[in-house]
Amino acid sequence: MEFNIALIPGDGIGPEIVAGAVTVLKAVEKKFGHKFNFTETYMGGCAIDKYGEPLPQETVDICKSSDSVLLGAVGGPKWDGAPKRPEAGLLGIRKALGLYSNLRPSILKPQLKDASPLKDEKLKNGLDVMVVRELTGGIYFGNREKAEDGSWASDEERYSVEEVKRIGKIAFDTAMLRNKRLVSVDKANVLESSRLWRRTMTELAAEYPEVELSHMYVDNAAMQLAINPAQFDVIVTSNIFGDILSDLSSAIAGSIGMLPSASLGATKCGMYEPIHGSAPDIAGMDIANPIATIVSAAMMLEMSFGLSEEAKAINTAVDKVLDMNYRTADIMSEGMIKTGCKKMAELIAENL
Protein backbone atom coordinates (compact mmCIF):
# COMPACT_ATOMS: atom_id res chain seq x y z
CA MET A 1 0.00 0.00 0.00
CA GLU A 2 1.13 3.56 -0.73
CA PHE A 3 0.61 6.62 1.47
CA ASN A 4 1.62 10.28 1.24
CA ILE A 5 2.90 11.76 4.51
CA ALA A 6 3.55 15.46 5.05
CA LEU A 7 6.50 16.02 7.40
CA ILE A 8 6.68 19.21 9.46
CA PRO A 9 9.94 18.97 11.45
CA GLY A 10 9.47 22.48 12.86
CA ASP A 11 11.84 24.03 15.40
CA GLY A 12 14.30 23.02 18.11
CA ILE A 13 14.58 19.25 18.39
CA GLY A 14 11.79 18.82 15.84
CA PRO A 15 14.04 17.87 12.89
CA GLU A 16 15.89 15.26 15.00
CA ILE A 17 12.82 13.50 16.35
CA VAL A 18 11.00 13.54 13.00
CA ALA A 19 14.10 12.06 11.37
CA GLY A 20 13.97 9.29 14.00
CA ALA A 21 10.34 8.54 13.16
CA VAL A 22 11.17 8.42 9.45
CA THR A 23 13.93 5.89 10.20
CA VAL A 24 11.35 3.62 11.84
CA LEU A 25 8.73 4.17 9.11
CA LYS A 26 11.30 3.16 6.48
CA ALA A 27 11.84 -0.05 8.43
CA VAL A 28 8.06 -0.58 8.34
CA GLU A 29 8.19 -0.09 4.56
CA LYS A 30 10.81 -2.79 4.23
CA LYS A 31 9.17 -5.27 6.60
CA PHE A 32 5.57 -4.95 5.42
CA GLY A 33 6.00 -3.95 1.77
CA HIS A 34 4.37 -0.52 1.95
CA LYS A 35 5.44 2.72 0.29
CA PHE A 36 5.55 5.99 2.24
CA ASN A 37 6.08 9.15 0.21
CA PHE A 38 7.46 11.89 2.47
CA THR A 39 7.12 15.61 1.67
CA GLU A 40 8.88 17.96 4.07
CA THR A 41 7.53 21.46 4.66
CA TYR A 42 7.79 24.44 7.02
CA MET A 43 5.75 25.66 9.99
CA GLY A 44 6.49 27.64 13.14
CA GLY A 45 9.63 29.66 13.78
CA CYS A 46 11.53 28.21 10.84
CA ALA A 47 8.66 29.30 8.57
CA ILE A 48 8.80 32.81 10.03
CA ASP A 49 12.52 32.91 9.22
CA LYS A 50 12.00 31.67 5.65
CA TYR A 51 8.61 33.13 4.68
CA GLY A 52 7.78 35.74 7.31
CA GLU A 53 4.72 33.67 8.29
CA PRO A 54 4.32 30.81 10.80
CA LEU A 55 2.03 28.94 8.40
CA PRO A 56 2.71 29.50 4.68
CA GLN A 57 -0.06 28.58 2.23
CA GLU A 58 2.32 26.11 0.62
CA THR A 59 2.41 24.13 3.86
CA VAL A 60 -1.39 24.09 4.09
CA ASP A 61 -1.64 22.87 0.48
CA ILE A 62 0.92 20.08 1.04
CA CYS A 63 -0.87 18.91 4.19
CA LYS A 64 -4.28 18.94 2.51
CA SER A 65 -2.97 16.85 -0.37
CA SER A 66 -1.39 14.28 1.96
CA ASP A 67 -2.93 11.26 3.66
CA SER A 68 -1.70 12.47 7.05
CA VAL A 69 0.76 14.82 8.74
CA LEU A 70 3.64 14.05 11.10
CA LEU A 71 4.75 17.06 13.17
CA GLY A 72 7.82 17.55 15.34
CA ALA A 73 7.48 20.70 17.46
CA VAL A 74 7.29 24.46 16.98
CA GLY A 75 8.35 27.53 18.92
CA GLY A 76 11.23 28.84 20.98
CA PRO A 77 12.49 32.00 22.67
CA LYS A 78 14.10 33.18 19.44
CA TRP A 79 10.67 34.26 18.17
CA ASP A 80 9.23 35.65 21.41
CA GLY A 81 9.21 39.19 20.01
CA ALA A 82 7.90 38.27 16.56
CA PRO A 83 4.64 39.95 15.44
CA LYS A 84 3.25 36.46 14.80
CA ARG A 85 4.30 33.69 17.15
CA PRO A 86 5.28 30.21 15.85
CA GLU A 87 2.39 28.64 17.78
CA ALA A 88 -0.03 30.54 15.52
CA GLY A 89 1.00 28.09 12.82
CA LEU A 90 -0.13 25.18 14.97
CA LEU A 91 -3.54 26.72 15.63
CA GLY A 92 -3.83 27.60 11.95
CA ILE A 93 -3.07 24.14 10.58
CA ARG A 94 -5.56 22.55 12.97
CA LYS A 95 -8.22 24.94 11.69
CA ALA A 96 -7.23 24.49 8.05
CA LEU A 97 -7.43 20.69 8.28
CA GLY A 98 -10.57 20.70 10.44
CA LEU A 99 -8.87 18.84 13.28
CA TYR A 100 -11.23 19.37 16.17
CA SER A 101 -10.26 16.49 18.46
CA ASN A 102 -6.95 15.69 20.12
CA LEU A 103 -6.38 12.23 21.60
CA ARG A 104 -3.55 11.98 24.11
CA PRO A 105 -2.91 8.59 25.71
CA SER A 106 -0.92 8.50 28.94
CA ILE A 107 0.41 5.02 29.60
CA LEU A 108 3.00 4.20 32.23
CA LYS A 109 5.32 1.54 30.82
CA PRO A 110 6.52 -0.97 33.44
CA GLN A 111 10.13 -0.31 32.40
CA LEU A 112 9.75 3.36 33.39
CA LYS A 113 7.85 3.01 36.65
CA ASP A 114 10.74 4.56 38.58
CA ALA A 115 10.57 7.66 36.37
CA SER A 116 7.07 8.58 37.58
CA PRO A 117 6.95 11.23 40.33
CA LEU A 118 4.14 9.31 42.03
CA LYS A 119 4.77 6.81 44.79
CA ASP A 120 4.44 3.11 44.04
CA GLU A 121 1.19 2.70 45.98
CA LYS A 122 -0.54 5.23 43.72
CA LEU A 123 0.55 3.28 40.64
CA LYS A 124 -0.23 -0.23 41.87
CA ASN A 125 -3.22 -0.40 39.49
CA GLY A 126 -1.21 1.01 36.59
CA LEU A 127 -1.86 4.08 34.48
CA ASP A 128 -3.70 4.06 31.16
CA VAL A 129 -5.63 7.29 30.60
CA MET A 130 -6.88 8.73 27.32
CA VAL A 131 -7.48 12.49 27.33
CA VAL A 132 -9.81 13.67 24.55
CA ARG A 133 -9.30 17.40 24.12
CA GLU A 134 -11.45 19.74 22.03
CA LEU A 135 -9.02 21.45 19.70
CA THR A 136 -10.53 24.25 17.60
CA GLY A 137 -12.82 26.11 19.99
CA GLY A 138 -12.78 27.72 23.40
CA ILE A 139 -10.54 30.43 24.72
CA TYR A 140 -7.66 29.77 22.29
CA PHE A 141 -9.91 30.72 19.38
CA GLY A 142 -12.15 33.31 21.05
CA ASN A 143 -12.06 37.05 20.54
CA ARG A 144 -9.10 38.82 22.13
CA GLU A 145 -8.97 42.41 23.28
CA LYS A 146 -6.51 44.62 25.11
CA ALA A 147 -6.30 48.25 26.12
CA GLU A 148 -3.94 50.42 24.13
CA ASP A 149 -2.27 51.51 27.37
CA GLY A 150 -1.85 47.88 28.47
CA SER A 151 -4.05 48.32 31.55
CA TRP A 152 -6.36 45.38 30.76
CA ALA A 153 -6.81 42.42 28.41
CA SER A 154 -9.49 39.82 27.79
CA ASP A 155 -9.91 36.45 26.07
CA GLU A 156 -13.30 34.97 25.21
CA GLU A 157 -14.23 31.38 26.09
CA ARG A 158 -16.99 30.35 23.68
CA TYR A 159 -18.52 27.01 22.71
CA SER A 160 -21.53 26.00 20.65
CA VAL A 161 -23.66 22.92 21.31
CA GLU A 162 -22.50 21.44 18.00
CA GLU A 163 -18.81 21.86 18.92
CA VAL A 164 -19.35 20.12 22.26
CA LYS A 165 -21.47 17.39 20.69
CA ARG A 166 -18.91 16.42 18.05
CA ILE A 167 -16.02 16.14 20.53
CA GLY A 168 -18.37 14.31 22.89
CA LYS A 169 -19.10 11.69 20.21
CA ILE A 170 -15.35 11.11 19.77
CA ALA A 171 -14.98 10.66 23.53
CA PHE A 172 -17.95 8.31 23.90
CA ASP A 173 -16.81 6.25 20.90
CA THR A 174 -13.32 6.05 22.42
CA ALA A 175 -14.77 4.94 25.77
CA MET A 176 -16.75 2.22 24.00
CA LEU A 177 -13.48 0.77 22.71
CA ARG A 178 -11.90 0.84 26.17
CA ASN A 179 -13.50 0.33 29.61
CA LYS A 180 -16.71 2.28 28.96
CA ARG A 181 -16.02 4.95 31.58
CA LEU A 182 -15.96 8.63 30.66
CA VAL A 183 -15.25 11.64 32.87
CA SER A 184 -16.28 15.01 31.45
CA VAL A 185 -14.20 17.82 32.97
CA ASP A 186 -15.47 21.40 33.18
CA LYS A 187 -15.89 24.36 35.53
CA ALA A 188 -19.67 24.43 35.54
CA ASN A 189 -19.85 25.97 39.00
CA VAL A 190 -18.39 29.19 37.57
CA LEU A 191 -18.43 29.32 33.76
CA GLU A 192 -21.51 29.59 31.55
CA SER A 193 -19.66 27.84 28.73
CA SER A 194 -19.00 24.93 31.09
CA ARG A 195 -22.67 24.70 31.99
CA LEU A 196 -23.47 24.35 28.29
CA TRP A 197 -20.68 21.77 28.03
CA ARG A 198 -22.05 19.69 30.93
CA ARG A 199 -25.64 19.88 29.72
CA THR A 200 -24.66 18.78 26.20
CA MET A 201 -22.54 15.87 27.45
CA THR A 202 -25.38 14.70 29.69
CA GLU A 203 -27.84 14.77 26.79
CA LEU A 204 -25.38 12.93 24.53
CA ALA A 205 -24.94 10.18 27.12
CA ALA A 206 -28.46 8.94 26.28
CA GLU A 207 -27.04 7.71 22.94
CA TYR A 208 -24.40 5.64 24.76
CA PRO A 209 -26.23 3.71 27.52
CA GLU A 210 -23.25 1.35 27.99
CA VAL A 211 -20.88 4.18 28.91
CA GLU A 212 -20.75 5.37 32.51
CA LEU A 213 -20.56 9.18 32.36
CA SER A 214 -19.49 11.30 35.32
CA HIS A 215 -18.63 14.98 35.66
CA MET A 216 -15.73 16.59 37.49
CA TYR A 217 -14.56 20.16 38.02
CA VAL A 218 -11.17 20.79 36.48
CA ASP A 219 -9.42 21.66 39.75
CA ASN A 220 -10.63 18.43 41.34
CA ALA A 221 -9.68 16.47 38.21
CA ALA A 222 -6.10 17.73 38.47
CA MET A 223 -5.97 16.72 42.12
CA GLN A 224 -7.49 13.30 41.44
CA LEU A 225 -4.98 12.60 38.65
CA ALA A 226 -2.21 13.09 41.19
CA ILE A 227 -3.93 11.17 44.00
CA ASN A 228 -5.49 8.23 42.16
CA PRO A 229 -4.87 8.22 38.40
CA ALA A 230 -6.14 4.65 37.99
CA GLN A 231 -9.73 5.84 38.53
CA PHE A 232 -9.68 7.44 35.05
CA ASP A 233 -10.22 5.69 31.73
CA VAL A 234 -11.26 8.41 29.24
CA ILE A 235 -11.35 12.14 30.03
CA VAL A 236 -13.08 14.61 27.71
CA THR A 237 -12.65 18.33 28.17
CA SER A 238 -12.28 21.75 26.57
CA ASN A 239 -9.28 23.12 24.72
CA ILE A 240 -7.55 24.91 27.59
CA PHE A 241 -8.41 22.37 30.29
CA GLY A 242 -7.29 19.55 27.98
CA ASP A 243 -4.02 21.31 27.31
CA ILE A 244 -3.28 21.44 31.03
CA LEU A 245 -4.60 18.03 32.12
CA SER A 246 -2.91 16.10 29.31
CA ASP A 247 0.46 17.57 30.29
CA LEU A 248 -0.21 16.60 33.91
CA SER A 249 -1.17 13.04 32.96
CA SER A 250 1.95 12.74 30.80
CA ALA A 251 4.20 13.86 33.66
CA ILE A 252 2.67 11.17 35.86
CA ALA A 253 3.58 8.63 33.18
CA GLY A 254 7.26 9.35 33.71
CA SER A 255 8.36 11.50 30.81
CA ILE A 256 6.76 13.92 28.43
CA GLY A 257 9.21 12.54 25.87
CA MET A 258 7.38 9.20 25.72
CA LEU A 259 3.84 10.16 24.81
CA PRO A 260 2.15 10.68 21.44
CA SER A 261 -0.97 12.46 20.28
CA ALA A 262 -3.39 12.38 17.38
CA SER A 263 -5.39 15.33 16.09
CA LEU A 264 -8.40 14.21 14.07
CA GLY A 265 -11.45 15.62 12.32
CA ALA A 266 -14.20 14.32 10.09
CA THR A 267 -11.81 12.54 7.67
CA LYS A 268 -9.06 9.94 7.99
CA CYS A 269 -6.40 12.63 7.46
CA GLY A 270 -4.95 13.49 10.85
CA MET A 271 -1.96 15.24 12.36
CA TYR A 272 0.27 13.25 14.68
CA GLU A 273 2.82 14.74 17.05
CA PRO A 274 4.60 14.24 20.36
CA ILE A 275 3.01 16.17 23.19
CA HIS A 276 6.27 17.83 24.23
CA GLY A 277 7.67 21.13 22.98
CA SER A 278 10.63 22.08 20.84
CA ALA A 279 13.23 22.05 23.67
CA PRO A 280 15.58 24.51 21.94
CA ASP A 281 18.08 24.20 24.80
CA ILE A 282 19.01 20.68 23.66
CA ALA A 283 18.47 21.09 19.91
CA GLY A 284 21.23 19.66 17.75
CA MET A 285 22.84 17.77 20.64
CA ASP A 286 21.46 14.32 19.73
CA ILE A 287 20.06 13.82 23.23
CA ALA A 288 16.33 14.28 22.57
CA ASN A 289 13.95 11.37 23.06
CA PRO A 290 12.40 10.34 19.70
CA ILE A 291 10.02 7.76 21.18
CA ALA A 292 6.99 10.06 21.47
CA THR A 293 7.31 10.94 17.79
CA ILE A 294 7.87 7.32 16.81
CA VAL A 295 4.76 6.13 18.65
CA SER A 296 2.86 9.10 17.19
CA ALA A 297 3.77 7.64 13.80
CA ALA A 298 2.41 4.30 15.04
CA MET A 299 -0.88 6.03 15.91
CA MET A 300 -0.93 7.44 12.37
CA LEU A 301 -0.51 3.98 10.88
CA GLU A 302 -3.39 2.61 12.94
CA MET A 303 -5.87 5.48 13.03
CA SER A 304 -5.42 7.06 9.60
CA PHE A 305 -4.09 4.20 7.48
CA GLY A 306 -5.75 1.20 9.12
CA LEU A 307 -2.40 -0.57 9.58
CA SER A 308 -2.95 -2.03 13.05
CA GLU A 309 -0.37 -4.81 12.73
CA GLU A 310 2.32 -2.36 11.68
CA ALA A 311 1.46 0.00 14.55
CA LYS A 312 1.66 -2.88 17.01
CA ALA A 313 5.05 -3.86 15.60
CA ILE A 314 6.41 -0.38 16.31
CA ASN A 315 5.11 -0.34 19.88
CA THR A 316 6.48 -3.83 20.50
CA ALA A 317 9.88 -2.73 19.17
CA VAL A 318 9.88 0.24 21.56
CA ASP A 319 9.21 -2.13 24.47
CA LYS A 320 12.00 -4.45 23.30
CA VAL A 321 14.54 -1.63 23.27
CA LEU A 322 13.44 -0.45 26.72
CA ASP A 323 13.71 -4.04 27.96
CA MET A 324 17.29 -4.02 26.64
CA ASN A 325 17.85 -1.11 29.08
CA TYR A 326 18.55 1.58 26.47
CA ARG A 327 17.52 5.06 27.62
CA THR A 328 17.75 8.63 26.39
CA ALA A 329 18.76 11.28 28.91
CA ASP A 330 15.22 12.20 30.00
CA ILE A 331 14.39 8.63 31.09
CA MET A 332 17.86 7.62 32.23
CA SER A 333 18.25 5.83 35.55
CA GLU A 334 20.98 3.93 37.35
CA GLY A 335 22.20 0.82 35.56
CA MET A 336 20.70 1.78 32.20
CA ILE A 337 22.56 2.28 28.89
CA LYS A 338 22.53 5.90 27.83
CA THR A 339 21.94 6.49 24.14
CA GLY A 340 21.24 9.40 21.80
CA CYS A 341 18.26 10.37 19.68
CA LYS A 342 19.52 8.90 16.40
CA LYS A 343 20.74 5.65 17.96
CA MET A 344 17.46 5.14 19.83
CA ALA A 345 15.51 5.39 16.57
CA GLU A 346 17.92 3.00 14.86
CA LEU A 347 17.57 0.47 17.69
CA ILE A 348 13.78 0.58 17.43
CA ALA A 349 13.96 0.15 13.65
CA GLU A 350 16.32 -2.82 14.06
CA ASN A 351 13.98 -4.49 16.56
CA LEU A 352 10.86 -4.03 14.49
The contacts of residue 281 (CB under 8 Å, 6+ apart) are none
* pLDDT tens-digit series, residues 145-183: 999 999 999 999 999 999 999 999 999 999 998 999 999
* pLDDT tens-digit series, residues 249-285: 887 877 678 889 999 998 889 999 998 899 999 999 9
275 and 261 Cβ atoms separated by less than 8 Å:
yes
> Which active-site residues does the annotation give?
140, 187, 219, 243, 247
Neighbour-count burial for 126-149, b at 16+ CB within 10 Å, e otherwise: ebbbbbbbbbbbbbbbeeeeeeee
113: number of Cβ within 10 Å: 15
Phi, psi at residue 124, to the nearest 5°? -60, -25
Predicted confidence (pLDDT) at residue 125 exceeds the cutoff of 80: no
Of the CATH numbers 2.40.50.140, 3.80.10.10, 3.40.50.300, 3.40.718.10, which one belongs to the domain with range 1-103+304-352? 3.40.718.10
What are the residue ranges spanned by the domains of the chain?
1-103+304-352
Segment 134-148 mean pLDDT = 94
* pLDDT tens-digit series, residues 278-325: 999 999 999 999 999 999 999 999 999 999 999 999 999 999 999 999
Nearest to 348 by CA among 320, 310, 312: 320
